[in-house]
Amino acid sequence: MENLVSKARNVMSLFNLRDKTAIVTGGGKGLGEAMSLALAGAGADVAIAGKTQANNERVADEIIKMGRKSMPVEVEVRDESRVVGMIETVVKEWGHLDILINSAGYAEVRPITEFPLDLWEYIMDVNVKGTFLCSREAAKVMLTKGKGKIINISSLQGYAGRAGDPAYAASKSAVNLMTMSMACEWASKGICVNAIAPTWCWTDLTSPYLSITSFYEELQQRIPAGHAGNREDLFGIVVFLASDASDFVNGAIIPVDGGAIASDGFPIVPDSSPAEK
């Protein structure tokens, strides 16, 4: 009991990421940018990886201003050799790799009969192949240390289909099962693999859609919290999954969705009880 009390007094230290190093793919914008900043806020040094180096550099500069180390790494997650090079660059510079967040992703919706094969392949390659390659190479490094955290970014669409979406929904469902398979293989070796499944969140990419009044009103009906998410809504969950506080959490797909997955998506039934006389 005394040992448990002593641990409880220091419980907040479990969330401290100081001296940890992280790579965030897709870290130069959107949800990836938010998660990169959150890790830095918790004390981690963060490499910002993505296709657009200007975005990588902008976020890396902000992290350096926060007092943490950062570096921009230009990478195409579909390219095996470039993924290998990304991991090697970070390990060579910082000596170790503790955290990987696979946030690079792509989505597009079109009528399925008009969905080009090359677009379908591109979405699957970025979201599934990219997550696989980055996780595989990061795990090779983490296995030598016997500890590491891999966090994949899934989606509400990993649980349900939608019209015009033969690729993104399928890719995120694949990410969910890949997360579980990796957890099964690496849990006993000290690597935790989990996924975060957000619903619609306000970003530069989603704002044009969320700003359409009719669409947003329908979305509000489907999210019990009554609104889309904000990027900072991912701060707490990503720090938790990256930290020692989640050492016994493995293979989980955690919704950050205002209750959307818990809901059947229908509006609240109006009160039809007779009025009191």
pLDDT mean over 139-166: 96
DSSP 229: B
pLDDT mean over 186-203: 97
Could you give the percent of the chain with pLDDT greater than 90? 93
Asked whether 16 and 43 are in contact (CB, 8 A), the reply is yes
Q: Is residue 139 pLDDT above 60, yes or no? A: yes
| The 3-state secondary structure of 154-185, one letter per residue | CCHHHCCCCCCCCCHHHHHHHHHHHHHHHHHH
pLDDT of residue 277: 42
pLDDT mean over 148-166: 95
Burial of 122 from C-beta contacts in 10 A (0-12 / 13-18 / 19+): middle
pTM check: above 0.85: yes
pLDDT band at 244 (very low <50, low <70, confident <90, very high): very high
Asked whether 229 and 198 are in contact (CB, 8 A), the reply is yes
Q: Is residue 276 pLDDT above 80, yes or no? A: no
pLDDT mean over 54-68: 98
Per DSSP, helices labelled H in the chain are: 2-9, 30-41, 53-65, 80-94, 117-124, 130-145, 168-186, 207-210, 213-222, 235-242
**pLDDT tens for each residue of 8-43:** 999 999 999 999 999 999 999 999 999 999 999 999
Domains and CATH numbers, the chain: 12-202+230-256 (3.40.50.720)
pLDDT band at 117 (very low <50, low <70, confident <90, very high): very high
What angle do the packed helices 130-145 and 80-94 form, to 10 degrees?
Answer: 30
| Residue 60 or residue 275, greater confidence | 60
Return d(Cα 27, Cα 183) in angstroms, integer: 23
Return d(Cα 72, Cα 62) in angstroms, integer: 11
Q: Look at strands 191-198 and 253-256 and give their pairing.
A: parallel
Q: Which two tokens stand for residue 136?
A: 């595989």
pLDDT band at 265 (very low <50, low <70, confident <90, very high): confident
pLDDT of residue 134: 98
Amino acid at 250: N
Asked whether 246 and 188 are in contact (CB, 8 A), the reply is no
Q: Is residue 275 pLDDT above 90, yes or no? A: no
Closest among 8, 6, 91, 18 to 242, alpha carbons compared: 18
Q: Which two tokens stand for residue 71?
A: 């570096």
**pLDDT tens for each residue of 209-227:** 999 999 999 999 999 999 9
Residues 6+ positions from 161 with CB-CB distance below 8 Å: 169
Q: Is residue 204 pLDDT above 70, yes or no? A: yes
pLDDT mean over 49-60: 98
Could you give the percent of the chain with pLDDT greater than 70? 97
pLDDT of residue 217: 93
Residues 6+ positions from 125 with CB-CB distance below 8 Å: 78
Residues 6+ positions from 217 with CB-CB distance below 8 Å: none
Residues with active-site annotation: 168
**pLDDT tens for each residue of 74-105:** 999 999 999 999 999 999 999 999 999 999 99
